[in-house]
Chains A and B, each alone.
Chain A
Amino acid sequence: MMVHGEAWTLKEFFTYPNEYIYWTIQIVMYPFMTGLVAGAFVLSSLYHVFGVKQLKGIARFSLVFSFALLPVAMLPLMLHLQQPLRGIEVMLTPHFTSAIAAFGIVFTTYGMIVASELWFVYRKHFVETALALKAKERRGPGEQFACLLFSALTMGAYDVSHEALEADERAVKKLAAAGIPVACFLHGYAGFIFGSVKANALWMTPLMPVIFICSAVVSGIALCILTYIVTMEIRKALAARRPELPSKEELKSAESQVVVMTSRYLLMFMVAAITLELLDLVFRGYTAVKSWDILRSVIYERDFVNIFVVQYGLGNLVPLVLFLVPGLTIRRAILGTALVLLGVFMMRWNVVIGGQAFSSSFSGFMHYTLPIWPDSLETFKEGLGGALLVAVIPFCLFWILNKVMPVFKETH
């Protein structure tokens, strides 16, 4: 009879009989996805709260994208739970001494803040669309549905006078401000989930939440830049065919300006993240407590390629150079942001999987073999298939959300 975890765990030397890699790829995806959510939101808030005008072009985009990522931050957890139907209990009988218990409340709070902010940003659009659809004499079934949807989305508030819209903008500013600490909390406590496990020598460090927040912002900004570039390229292609859209040249200059500005913020947060991670590593080596022997053999031998080549080398150093060399081109930005995303993903991987690469007896090792071809529901959920599912869904959601809340249409 197969035990949960046995299918993908290889044990070496002495490990306790019950030890397996219980937290797998989905627990790597979970902080990665929440990181993207938090990062995207912080990026949009830079414009809404701190008035960084240069980010106007990407602010609305990243807000909608953050909303599209939101449900997907929960999906890895559902795929990971042995009893997914009982997940709601986190809201019913929360045990707040557990770092996970706050998840339900923080997550919904954050979701409601983003939803409200979106409502204020798009209210004018909702009202106009609803009124336009209502004015139509004959509506097809699609239009009928759209009419109902947009009418519901207005929540009965059809006032789009100048004063009302100004009130909207004030509300957006307040919500964005409230959202920053909540977004940071949402992700910082994902770091706390790991950092507070005293039984795990690799995880236990008070730096973990801060490291997680910094790398979250890095990954969120990187994904926003990347997706932004891709959507702009699509729009450019469309612009060639449809004259009513902004011309190709207009788009191009707007695009590179946004990318250059945003990548500066990316660099700032990346330097902070790398500094903290290296500080953690240096400190562990210098203090060399009981667990260091086994940690050293994991960090410098078993996971050397994952940590130093892929994460620090490809994921941090190369993009740092790419962004720092003057005259940033779009192509270089694409490569840089893609590598940054890889680096942050590998950081999550090296924390989650690396933390389970050694036995808590400090006398043995465990190796995680990612299930590629699923031969059961379990190996699908906690294998490549499940991870890809989680990675693809936000883009599908973004595509749908964009139909309701067009990110590039001028509203206010």
Chain B
Amino acid sequence: MKNHVWRPLYVVLAVVALVLLARKVLVPADFGVGPRGYMYGWHRPSNEQQWKEVKVKYRTASFCMECHRDKYDEMKESPHRNINCENCHGAALNHPDDPRYLTIDRSRELCARCHTRLPYPTSSRGVMKGVDPKTHHVGLDCVTCHWPHDPRKEGHQR
């Protein structure tokens, strides 16, 4: 029994072996150092693909144009030409299959995002056409009088 002093070391080695074994089993096979080196690129590369596969919800105006050419053209001629359809109509997702209908946001709050008057002299907000929603025809939807696709036109014709 000369060597009893080494016995704790055997236990230690067993623990280390166990951890290394756990690494073999539990660590994803592709885990490693990426192009950005160990400091910024130590990762599981398959995760990049997972992020790329996230579903696109906003399909942009060019997608809406495919079916709603008339609306698209009307918008493009108006002062609202830079506003994306989906800002008010909601994300298209797989429309028209899913969802069948989009929920249009016609609330005053939506228009008020830009058209609440804020007197900011050095910001382009200061020169936006604006009203005070607390006094401007309270209770009425903006679209009653203003045609959102082309605000130069009057009223909401549906």
Chain A residues at the B interface, C-beta cutoff of 8 Å: 88, 91-93, 95, 97, 108, 112, 115-116, 119-120, 123, 155-159, 164, 167-168, 171
| Count of chain A to chain B residue pairs whose CB atoms are closer than 8 Å in the complex | 48
Nearest Cβ on chain B to A179's Cβ, whole angstroms:
13
Residues of the A chain whose Cβ atoms lie less than 8 Å from the Cβ of B31 = 93
**Which 9 residue pairs spanning A and B have beta carbons closest together?**
A157-B4, A116-B8, A159-B1, A155-B7, A97-B39, A95-B42, A112-B12, A92-B27, A171-B5
Number of interface residues of B (CB under 8 A): 18
How far does the Cβ of A183 sit from chain B's closest Cβ, in whole Å?
A: 17
Closest to B8 in A: A116
The residues of B that contact A157 with a CB separation of less than 8 Å are 1, 4, 7
B54 within 8 A of A: no
Residues of A within 8 A of B12 (CB): 112, 116
Q: In the complex where A97-B38, A97-B39 touch, is A92 in contact with B4 (Cβ < 8 A)?
A: no
Question: Cα distance A123–B5 when bound, in Å?
Answer: 10
* B contact residues around A164 at 8 Å (CB): 1, 4
Instruction: Please state if B42 and A91 are interface contacts (CB–CB under 8 Å).
Output: no
> B22 touching A92 by the CB < 8 A rule?
yes
For A168, list chain B residues within 8 Å (CB). Answer: 5
A residues in contact with B38, CB < 8 Å:
95, 97
Instruction: Give complex CA distance A108, B15 in Å.
Output: 9
Known: A88-B22, A92-B22, A116-B12. A159 touches B27 (CB 8 A): no
B39 touching A159 by the CB < 8 A rule?
Answer: no
B23 close to A (CB within 8 Å): yes
* Residue of B whose beta carbon sits closest to that of A171: B5
Closest residue of chain A to B7 (Cβ to Cβ) is A155
New A-B contacts (6) at CB < 8 Å, excluding given A88-B22, A92-B26, A155-B7 = A108-B15, A112-B12, A116-B12, A120-B5, A155-B8, A155-B11
B114 near A: Cβ within 8 Å? Answer: no
Residue of B nearest to A161 (CB): B1
Q: What are 22 A-B pairs with beta-carbon distances under 8 A? A: A88-B26, A91-B23, A92-B22, A92-B23, A92-B27, A93-B23, A97-B38, A97-B39, A112-B8, A112-B11, A112-B12, A115-B8, A116-B9, A116-B12, A119-B8, A155-B4, A155-B11, A156-B7, A157-B7, A164-B1, A167-B4, A171-B5
